[in-house]
Structure formats: C-alpha cells, structure tokens
Structure 1
Amino acid sequence: MYPWLDPSGRFSVFKLAVFIALLVPGALLLWPVIAQGGATIPVKDAILQSGDWTIRILLISLLITPLRRITRFSKLVQVRRQIGVGAFCYAIMHLCLYAISQNLDLGRIASEIVLRIYLTIGFVAVLGLAVLAATSTKAAMRKLGAKWGRLHKLVYPIAVLGVVHFFLQSKVDVSEATLMAGLFVALMLYRFAHWRGWALRSASTLIVIALVSGLTTAGIEYAWYALATGIPADRVAAANLEWMWPLRPAWNVLLVSLVMVVIYPFGRDGAGRAIMSNLAGSLRLKPQHSRGG
C-alpha cells in the first residue's frame, strides 16, 4: 500500500529513494507554474517537460526486467510497479496541464483531441496507462489471473504510441524523440533475445544488441527527416557517422546499451548480486527488539 515498504511490510530506503526520485522532476516542473500563478509560458514549458518525463519513466519501467535478468538483482522487481504508476501520474499531469492551457474548456479540449492526430494518439496512450495503473494492484492480479499478464503487455503498444506522439509534437527537432525511440528498440531487443533463448549475460549478445540499437536509431532518424520534413536526410545520416558534441541520438543509444556490457559480469559471477543485495539490506530499517531486564 505504501511505496516505501518492501513486500514483507518493512521500511525500505531503497524503495523510498525511488519514490522520491519519481517526485523530484514533477516538483521542479510544477514549481514555476505555481509560483507564477499559471502564467502561459511556465504552463507550456511544464506541458512539454511532463510529456518528456512520462516517456522517460515509462522506458525506465521497461528497463527493469532486462536489467534484472542481466544483473540477477531480483529486488528491482519491487520498484517496477511503482515506476509504472509514476509514468501514469506524469501522463495525467501532462493532460491536466494541457487542459489548463486551454482554460479548462472541455468542449475545446475534446475537439482538439479528435481533430489533431498527435493529440488523439497521446490521449489513447494516457487511457492505456490508466487501465494498466488501475489493474496494477495485487487484488487485480488475483482477479484477472492469467489475463493480467496479457493485459499488461499493452505497455508495449502504449510505449510506441507515446514515442509517435513525441515525434509528431516535436515537428522539426526530433533528437529527444529519436533517442526515446532508439532506447525502446534496445529494450525490445533485450526481450527478443531472452525469448529466443540467447544469454543476456553474454558480452557478445549485449554488444550485438547495442550495435543494432544504434544503427536502428540512426535509421529511424533518417526516415523521419526523409519522410516528414524538407530537411535533407542525407546530412542527418552523415552526421551520425561523426563524433560530435552534443552526441547524435544513435551514439547515445549505442553508449547507453554498451553500459549493459560493463555491468553484466556482476550478474554472471554473482559478485554484483552480493554487492547490491548487501547494499539493499543496509538500506532497510530493521525492527528493534527489546532486551530482557
């Protein structure tokens, strides 16, 4: 019931830290809106930032499973639901801020959602996240049984809708949207590799996933500029072959994916699991027992 308690009901600093980390971005983006009484510019900035954080947190929730498989740190599962619900909360914040920007005119908001395809896509994604959040409880899991797992696989098309919404509202500068798309590809490749029975604790598998993810990201960026803008896509493709700062999305996806190659030995030999388990244990408040006279 409480996000700072572990499954045994004990206070966990690990879970509390994750909970606070989920709250911090929201507090930072809402503060200017509150401080300036809902002024137009802070609201518009907060709309964009809350949308960015929605997809970021959603992808972090999708990272938990492959990261657990690679590191064998099972306690990560304890925060997966918390992070997923956090993504839904940011999506609701995103929608509410948009409503504020429209002066809470429900008729206008509804018409905009129907008439603007990127808003339609985003709204469908929010509805999907609402369904997943509402059925994320243990009671819902027991009631739905085997159907629960199939229902929560909707997170994958929801993430795709979120990325498409990101692209469409970004218009010309799609660097952040491309990065999110590339990271989603990497997360799906980890799942595909596991489904095929390929060892995720194998350096070769992780390196291949990193390379394919980076190349696919470059392809997504090229396709967007070639099909949706008048900007020469060849220049974008050539830029991905150069090491420049800031890094292109393809390079970022490649480097982030290669981090898995660095951490996988911890899961393979058990040393990392021991370190993380000891750390998690030290961050858990243990009950004090009274001593007899």
Structure 2
Amino acid sequence: MFFLIQKPYGLSSFSAIAHLRKKFGIKKIGHTGTLDPLATGLLLVATDNSTKLISYIDKARKSYVFTVRLDGSTPSYDLDTPVEYLDVDIVEKARTTLTKEIIEHTIQTYFFGKIEQIPPSYSAIRLQGQRAYHMVRAGQEVQISKREIEIFSTRLVSFSFPEVTIEMEVSVGTYIRSIARDIGEKLGLAGHVTMLHRNKIEHLDEILARKIEDITLEDTLSYDCIFPGFEIISPEAEILEKLYNGLVFSNTIGLESGKKYLVKNGDKYISLIEERDGMVRICANNIE
C-alpha cells in the first residue's frame, strides 16, 4: 500500500511513519524521501510488499515552497540552531537597495539547471558510517563534498525584506537549506530557511494527501496513480506461472525495451517486469 501524508511541523519523517506503523499494525514500512523535522508537506509512504517499489519512485522530482530570511545565518541553515545576525548597517543598506528584480535575476541566473551545492553538515548524510548531524553535535569536524543537483524550475513567490519566498522543483538529493544559504551569499548577505514545505512529488500533489491524524486504510493510492508511466498487463496463466516462480524467459509477450510493466492477476498486482536482451526479467515480485 502507498499513502501520501501531510507531515506536520516538528515531526521527523521517522516518527511520522512510526505513527502509521502503530496505527495500522504494519510490519514493514518506508518512505520515498526524508523531510526535515522543521519542514512540512508531502511524505509518500509505502508499506509491506509495496516497499519493494520504493526505488522506482524515490528518485522523483520534488517541489518545495520555502522562505529565506536574509539578515543572518545558522549552522544548520534553518531555525534548528541559533541565528547569527548580520551587522545592522549591512542589513539597513540591503533594506533600501535590494529589490525584487535583483532577487529574480539572481535565482534565475544562479539557481536554475544543473548546479553544484554542498549539503549542510546538519544532515542525514553518512560519513564514515555515521550521520553527519551526529558527528557535528558530538563536536567532530565534518567535511561534505560538493554534489551536482538540478533545478528544473524556480519562481519568486514574494519578497518583503528580509524575507523572500521561492518555489522550486528540484532533483533528488537537493538540500533546500543549502540553496537558502547560497542565495544569501550571492546577494552579499546571509540566508537561512524559516519555512519549508514540500508541495509535490513528481506528479503527486497535495489534493491526494491526508493529514497524518486523519488517514485511514481507505486512503491508499493505487499503483496506476503512483506509476502512471508503467503499463499494466494481464498475461495468460502460463506467463503468470513463470513469474510466480521467478523465472527469466523469452519475450513472447511483446514487451518494449526501456519500459516497465505492472503485471496483474485478476485484481491483484503480482510483479514489476521489463524486457532486457530479448528476455522478460522481473524487477520485483510479490508486490502487493
């Protein structure tokens, strides 16, 4: 089963799925992309055999609306750590000279397409077998390498100094907190996130989501909703038997190269398959 939940402010992604595990008595559960505790918005959760399909959606594009405050910085690039404010003279000068047009030009020029960023040291990235944020809080020095990300769209929502609100669609692995810091630096100021909300995961938007306290077992999302690019097929019994047995066999059912297929037996999904080198190969079996 898949659920799309609205994660509230202050709750970690781990705590959110733990709540569902307890509520529904679920043995196996996972999600398709962590949200920081101070972030809100969409968290796509998979349970039981559906967790086998997480790897086919966890690389999805994600969209965020976020507010950057430009008068100070924090070690975590958000409000999880204390703010060190800029000198009052710098702030007052920016208040009179920084315009919506300057910000628009900056984000369209430097924060669009493929760029490099350094993730926050206060992050769940693993270094030497440890989470980076654990190392930082233990007083250890943390050095995280640059990584390439992609920003597919960027839009200035509003600006009222010292706060600017932006909407972005980004690739997997993008840290919005790092973008906030970098925007501040590009403007000759300092930036940190004061609001972060995930409003879309690929094609899944908030109209499909439910509040974590209100969600029921009737609120599951179907596989054809989660994976609209996968074709659904219902082959004959002989083919189903081969799939149940985990066999690789000649492509006699007309699968196209480069495509994925969800296989149904009656009303139940049983496999995710593909064609490779002229053979039908199983990507995941027993998926429902």
Query: TM-score, structure 2 length as denominator?
Result: 0.26
Query: TM-score, structure 1 length as denominator?
Result: 0.25
Q: Of Structure 1 and Structure 2, which has the larger fraction of its residues in strand?
A: 2
Q: Which has the larger radius of gyration?
A: 2
